[in-house]
Amino acid sequence: MPITQEELGRRIKVAREACRLTQEEVATRVELPRPSIAQMELGNRNVTSLELDRLARLFGRDLRELLAEPFEERDAFAALFRAQQDALRSPDILDRLRECTRLGREMTSLERILGVDRGASSSASYAVENPGASWEAVRQGEAIALEERQRLGLGHGPLRNLADVLESEGIRTAIVELPPDVSGLTLNDPSYGALVVANDSEHAHRIRFSLAHEYAHVLLDRTQLGIVSRPSERNEMLEVRANAFAAAFLMPAQGVLQFLHGFGKGQPSRMRAEIFNEDDAVAVEGRTAPGTQDIQPYDLALLAAHFGVSPQAMLYRLLNIQAITKPTFAGLNEQVKASVVNDFMKALHLEEEPDLDVREEFRRRYLGLALEAYRRGEITKGKLEELAALVQLSGNEVALLIEQVSGGDEPVDVILPKAER
């Protein structure tokens, strides 16, 4: 049943106030007089489809949400905006985040059209109390990371495609430009589920860590609609827990030690065993040769490349799992700062970013779904062009893709244009 003009006006007001926007600010952004916005909200003025589309985009909503029954007044983008106004004060940043939320909604819509609906989010949710101390936060993060790896059947090896892991759990991933002091954010939106975003300006290693960090927020902080992760707040308990999760999830202790053992490293310098034969025990002691267990800069380079993390992240992980001592950590840390480890990575041809092109993963899947929906006749050419424009495809590029898709009855390998950074 269509909603009334008065109800639509009320929803517009709710959405505007949720984003802490004044009528004047809204009027400026949608290029209408302020009295027109006021009359819309009072239900005294008809709202055209074009105006409603502009308003929905400004509020980080989908046009269909404003017309749907029932209307979901809780909104992740609005919650994020309220909680982090200082971090998200730039209109350009807000526009990019609105675009992210729209991409998440469009992705969900395409999946439903194509019959691959995974629900709002199929990921697990862990009911744990908020930590009261840093050590408790670390223990929680590491324990949940181990449990989640076991649940997903990931073993103890490196994660070659982290975005695939998150996507398989119904979590959207996006890489956009964020303020320098924001490493990532999480949106738990009732309408399309979880979306995690990492800062595009970071190195791919950092992006991977941020995605794992935000994954922790999805698993452990589901009740919060919007969370912004900022390095300046790394001492906050939820951030400590998410960082501990990310480290353990990307660099499982057993996997790191197994890798070291493969190079004859990681064993204690002195070993002792009591050999029992049902009557008595014989004490057996052994010592490794001096210096043979010392972790070298090239070991650190190999470990970092193997697990797809930065040398600094791996160094701290080695310290935390007690694979190295504090003096060894200090020495290796100096080597990292002096670029010695990076030099080894270059010499060993390990300096490339991780195998996963995280910046392109969401875009490829999104465009693939859009093209398939167009091929099946589920969306129009105009809708395809609109969806493609959201990921910066030009009209000529879209025309080329349409020609490829429509070129014959047999399936074709569609080559997606690479996004310019």
Q: Taking the chain, what is the end-to-end CA distance rounded to the nearest angstrom?
A: 45
Distances (CA, A) of 111 to 129, 170, 199, 348: 34, 11, 25, 42
What is the rounded average pLDDT for all residues in the chain?
81
Token digits of residue 232: 């300046």
Side-chain half-sphere of 313: how many Cα atoms within 13 Å? 30
**The predicted structure's pLDDT at residue 392:** 78
User: Between 331 and 360, where is the model more confident?
Assistant: 331
In 10 A of CB 409, how many CB atoms? 4
**Residue 411, pLDDT above cutoff 50:** no
Tens digit of each residue's pLDDT (9 = 90 or more) over 163-178? 888 888 888 888 877 7
Which residue shows structure tokens 């300096």?
351
**Residue 78, pLDDT above cutoff 90:** no
Tally of residues, the chain: 421
Best CA proximity match to 101, nearest among 225, 241, 244, 251:
225
In 10 A of CB 20, how many CB atoms? 11
Best CA proximity match to 85, nearest among 215, 182, 192:
182
Which residue shows structure tokens 């002091």?
181
Per-residue confidence band for 407, with pLDDT thresholds at 50, 70 and 90: low
**The predicted structure's pLDDT at residue 42:** 94
Tens digit of each residue's pLDDT (9 = 90 or more) over 270-310? 656 666 666 667 766 645 554 446 888 999 999 999 998 99
